[in-house]
Structure 1
Amino acid sequence: MASLGVEFGASRLLAPYFGTSLYVWGVLIGLILIYLSAGYVIGGRLADRHPREEVLFQITAWAGLWIGVIPLVSYPILLVSQQGFKELSAGLVAGTLFAVVILFAAPVILLGCVSPFAIRLLLKDVETGGNTAGRVYALSTAGSILGTFLPVFWFIPSYGTRPTLEGFGLVLVGVSVMGLWPWPRRRFYAAFAAAVILAWIFLPSGIKPPQVGQLVYEKESAYGYIQVVQEGTRTELILNEGEAIHSIYDTSSLLTGGPWDYMVVANSFRPAQGSELRPKDVAILGLAGGTAARQYTAAFGRDVEITGVEIDPDILDVAHRYFHLNEPNVHPVVADARYWIDTTDAKYDVIVMDAYRQPYIPFHLTTREFFSEVRDHLRPGGVAVVNAGRTATDYRLVDAIASTMSAVYPSVFLVDVPAFNNTLVYGTTEPVTVVDVEHNLGLVSEPLAQTVAQSVLSDGRLRVSPYHDQVFTDDLAPVERLIDEIILSYVTGSQASAPGAGPP
């Protein structure tokens, strides 16, 4: 049970600093398996040399102590990784990742010793060896099931990652001390429990300090790490690694300068119109703090009905508390964006796709099949909008998104966000030209939308997408590998700025 609990705890401990990408999980699971394999070998040899219950409980006591101090010991190492991102040091970032993962080597190796040791102690004769091993592995698997379900569905959502690890360590030490009670050194191992409790007491109060501004709120949700930061008059929503801004609420200005502003002119990406078109229904996949919904309401009033889909209910709570998501025309829905698109019958004038946890993107929201489902929920002439991160010179992610959308939509356009490292990708359901879009942008009269339209024409590098490369599918969408390559180029200094919704 403890080994699976440690694995989930390790992934959550790393998430605010390194994210939860396929590659982070791959490194973590691979090394955990290596540690367990080493523990099986060491435990088997140790059991043959010292087949005593006392030794087994000493092993589990040391494992519990190590698990209990990991949250305290790992904290300063993880802070170094944050500094590595600031200094664009690939070696520093990679080094701290492996340093933290290696911290888990000792307890997992020790826990790996338990099964072969238990089999050796329970084995009375060779004839019943198979039965003995089967019972031990059955009990171990049952413990692993508990070690999976309890942290995921109870401990981590209710108490947090670090208290969960502390709790696992304390329980393991407690069980070990009870097993060691008949032996003379029980007081020494009982002190381990005090050490774990002290490590718990001295844990820093915060999970992660903000890179800029003042921390207002933070929480570990079931889907990731949430941080609300105050910087001047702006309240910003930061998620996971903190390398991008996901929502902004500015008390001094309606316009944010971010990609959310440029979503409000999506209705202009249609054949040339005789007058300004106002959207009636908008769906936003990835509502987050509700910045895009607020911009649409500010531009077109409460007559535009907005459905905002957000997978994380804790983010919606943050949106209501800190980002003033209280417009009566905005209807939040808690669901996965792909599932919601698959199950709704509604159709919209505009569908905005901002469900990405920059810099990483759920692969199933980047595929031809997904964009086809989005198209099927657009009214005739409707427009799909995707917010794609990039660097100042590296447009590979924009290329991938635009190339895939080009396989679904007759026309695909790009607009760069001047103040942020983002490009908006617009897919139309009818053939449209740049001249059409420029004409329609000139018709925009609503003050906020008009300001954005002028920015698109003067600073946004409005253009037809030139990309027609690999089309991502549900079967093959290597988006995480692509983003990691972009990040590697960034941290090694070959790129000027990082991908994501953040200013350069």
Structure 2
Amino acid sequence: MTGVRPSPLRALGDAATILLASALGMVVEIVAGRLLAPHVGMSLHTWTAIIAVVLGGFSLGHWWGGRLAGPGCDRRTGHRRLAWLLGGCAAATLLAVPALRLAAPLLEGGRVHPLAAILGLALAAFFLPSLLVGTVSPIVTKLAVEEAPPGRMGPVLGRLFAVSALGAIAGTLAAGFVFVSWLGSTATMLACTALYGLMASGHAGAALALARRRAALPVAAAVGLAALLLPAAAARLPALAAPCESESAYFCIRTVDLTDAVGQPARLMVLDHLAHGANVRNEPTLFVQPYLHLVDELMAARGLPERPAAFFLGGGAFTLPRAWAADHPEGRLIVAELDPAVAAAARRDFWLEDGPALAVLTADGRPALQNLPAAPRFDLVFADAFHDIAMPAHLSTREWHRVVRARLRPGGAYVANVMEDKRQPRFLLALARTLALDFPAVEVWVEMAEAPGRRVTYLLLASDTPTPSDRITARRGPGRRWARLPPGFVAARIAAAGVPVLTDDFAPVERLMSHLILSAEGSGR
């Protein structure tokens, strides 16, 4: 310890380095979730793997940085090492997206266990950037502490720890609220690359200045210019092309042309890695997806009035609201879609037209319904919202079901779209058990055509009155047929499964669906 009070400029440089390094480390962590989503979805398992990989990188980086900050690491050596390490951060961040896309074909398609695929993709892309940025803080802290006056080590450490935490907070907020929504994931990674490069140029210049080199300023300027130009040039490379046609804080949104398959202009909306609705341009009431067709046929069989009132949780391509708006122009249709970018894509690419019958709320479905006036009530409340392939937990609970029942007219129905396992649909059974506590009639409907694979789309219907028939044949469109599972069979399965009642306090959706989520088919590959 020198006992010489450091200059304010040097203290400011130390704080700025730790602040920016912490911020950029967290930006990369948040963006990791968005970059993995088109490959493996956005689930609890995805975030668990990302956090574990990033924290593992930080931890190993802190250890390595401590070794680099050992004896012989003075100001000049420290700046030189920081320059190289921050340059490495820039390179690793730049290569993260290509590394992810190179690893994806090797890990997707059921080649490995889904958890191993998620963890492998996170390691391939985000471990090295996290490791390298983790080395920065120990070196800067060591240099600052050695220059602290006697008795001032504690305040210096406290100040740097506080700055590091503030940087992490700032990076988290900036990534979640600004960068991903305004720049997109890939562009955000390129921006982080440029900032890491600029930091490296500053430390390279400082190291040369301390060595009394005349080239300090030109070298720092050249490195800084390269840090700005290289990401801008790399943005044009195919390996860094964004996979999304549009990207929001919630989804990677893509449009797939189905014209050849349908025989007329039609499009499919893909959010992250799953389909969320398909629309036919000239026939709004032609349903490409059987489960939406079933909702339409079920409500017709139950006597849907000419001027229906319906509340939809989740918009996607707005397939059913669009069809009902065409069929019932004097109806009252409200759609709660959390992501405004999804609604914008539906209007732009899926022929959704606003009209007097259809209102779109940019909100989560549960608070949106709770905040509506108690009257008039609805003929249908339809839950078609997903967190990856699972229903959001807060839309599965008894407290929510009571809200729904209070908003239904006599004879009205609550319908939930549930993707589940063909053999062990434990979440489906738990949801049916929970609904039965508040609805006299709970029905499970499936398409009669045998579905390939493990994953099946079920429709759960809950009401105060049962559907008049246990078989439905399509009135229009493809000649599909659906069946209601026998109530006694469903009750026996619920009793045998021993599934819990789902509440706001306890709704283990991912655990109940883990057998499907952790299968290759459940992970969407």
Q: Same fold (TM over 0.5)?
A: yes
**Largest Rg, 1 or 2:** 2
Q: Measure, in 2, the Cα distance between the counterparts of 1:30 and 1:427.
A: 40
Q: Measure, in 2, the Cα distance between the counterparts of 1:173 and 1:11.
A: 23
Give the Å deviation of 1:157: 0.8
In the alignment, which of 43, 54, 59 is matched to residue 80 of structure 2? 54
- Percent identical pairs in the alignment equals 25
Q: Measure, in 2, the Cα distance between the counterparts of 1:206 and 1:416.
A: 40
Deviations along 1:363-391, whole A, 9 cap, x unmatched? Answer: 11111111221111111221100111134
1:306 corresponds to: 333
Question: Which residue identity does 2:343 align to in structure 1?
Answer: L
In the alignment, which of 33, 41, 44 is matched to residue 22 of structure 1? 44
In the alignment, which of 140, 153, 156 is matched to residue 177 of structure 2? 153
In the alignment, which of 376, 382, 397 is matched to residue 412 of structure 2? 382
1:143 corresponds to: 167
Q: Normalising by structure 1, report the TM-score.
A: 0.83
Q: Measure, in 2, the Cα distance between the counterparts of 1:194 and 1:499.
A: 38
Q: Would you say the 8 A contact 2:53–2:122 is kept in 1?
A: no
The answer to whether 1:65 aligns with 2:91 is yes
Q: Measure, in 2, the Cα distance between the counterparts of 1:202 and 1:92.
A: 29
1:349 corresponds to: 379
Change (3 A) 1:341 1:205: same
User: Tell me, what secondary structure is at the counterpart of 1:414?
Assistant: strand
Q: Measure, in 2, the Cα distance between the counterparts of 1:379 and 1:453.
A: 31
Change (3 A) 1:126 1:368: farther
User: Tell me, what secondary structure is at the counterpart of 2:418?
Assistant: strand
Q: Measure, in 2, the Cα distance between the counterparts of 1:68 and 1:276.
A: 55
1:345-494 to structure 2, matched below 5 A, reads: 345=373, 346=375, 347-418=377-448, 421-430=456-465, 432=466, 436-437=468-469, 450-451=475-476, 455=480, 458-464=481-487, 465-466=490-491, 467-468=493-494, 469-488=499-518, 490-491=519-520
Q: Measure, in 2, the Cα distance between the counterparts of 1:376 and 1:266.
A: 21
Question: Which residue identity does 1:238 align to in structure 2?
Answer: V
1:77 corresponds to: 103
1:339 corresponds to: 367
Question: Which residue identity does 1:117 align to in structure 2?
Answer: I
Change (3 A) 1:221 1:325: same
User: Tell me, what secondary structure is at the counterpart of 1:460?
Assistant: strand
Question: Which residue identity does 1:145 align to in structure 2?
Answer: I
Change (3 A) 1:102 1:78: closer
1:121 corresponds to: 143
Give the Å deviation of 1:322: 1.9
Q: Would you say the 8 A contact 1:248–1:291 is kept in 2?
A: yes
Tell which deviates more after alignment, 314-323 or 253-262.
Answer: 253-262
Q: Would you say the 8 A contact 1:72–1:200 is kept in 2?
A: no
Q: Normalising by structure 2, report the TM-score.
A: 0.80
Q: Measure, in 1, the Cα distance between the counterparts of 2:399 and 2:178.
A: 35
Question: Which residue identity does 1:380 align to in structure 2?
Answer: P
Q: Measure, in 1, the Cα distance between the counterparts of 2:333 and 2:79.
A: 64
Deviations along 1:49-91, whole A, 9 cap, x unmatched? Answer: 323322223222221221122123322223444xx23xx3334
The answer to whether 1:171 aligns with 2:195 is yes
Q: Would you say the 8 A contact 1:267–1:278 is kept in 2?
A: no
The answer to whether 1:326 aligns with 2:353 is yes
1:105 corresponds to: 127
Deviations along 1:428-478, whole A, 9 cap, x unmatched? Answer: 124x3x6x3459x79xxxxxx7348985xx543454343533221112212
The answer to whether 1:207 aligns with 2:233 is no
1:202-241 to structure 2, matched below 5 A, reads: 202-204=237-239, 206-208=241-243, 218-231=245-258, 232=260, 233=264, 234-241=266-273
Q: Measure, in 1, the Cα distance between the counterparts of 2:314 and 2:173.
A: 27
The answer to whether 1:2 aligns with 2:28 is no
User: Tell me, what secondary structure is at the counterpart of 1:475?
Assistant: coil
2:6 corresponds to: none
Q: Would you say the 8 A contact 1:68–1:167 is kept in 2?
A: no
User: Tell me, what secondary structure is at the counterpart of 2:196?
Assistant: helix
User: Tell me, what secondary structure is at the counterpart of 1:127?
Assistant: coil
Question: Which residue identity does 2:483 align to in structure 1?
Answer: G
In the alignment, which of 49, 52, 61 is matched to residue 39 of structure 1? 61
User: Tell me, what secondary structure is at the counterpart of 1:422?
Assistant: strand
User: Tell me, what secondary structure is at the counterpart of 2:33?
Assistant: helix
Q: Would you say the 8 A contact 2:332–2:358 is kept in 1?
A: yes
Tell which deviates more after alignment, 179-188 or 38-47.
Answer: 179-188
Give the Å deviation of 1:357: 4.4
Q: Would you say the 8 A contact 1:78–1:96 is kept in 2?
A: no
Q: Measure, in 1, the Cα distance between the counterparts of 2:445 and 2:113.
A: 34
Q: Measure, in 2, the Cα distance between the counterparts of 1:357 and 1:104.
A: 23
1:316 corresponds to: 343
Question: Which residue identity does 2:90 align to in structure 1?
Answer: G
Question: Which residue identity does 2:397 align to in structure 1?
Answer: T
Change (3 A) 1:181 1:15: same
Change (3 A) 1:203 1:181: farther
Give the Å deviation of 1:14: 0.7
Tell which deviates more after alignment, 326-335 or 462-471.
Answer: 462-471
Give the Å deviation of 1:352: 0.8
In the alignment, which of 141, 147, 156 is matched to residue 132 of structure 1? 156
Question: Which residue identity does 1:75 align to in structure 2?
Answer: R
1:295 corresponds to: 323
- 5+ residue gaps, structure 2, are 1-22
In the alignment, which of 245, 270, 290 is matched to residue 258 of structure 1? 290
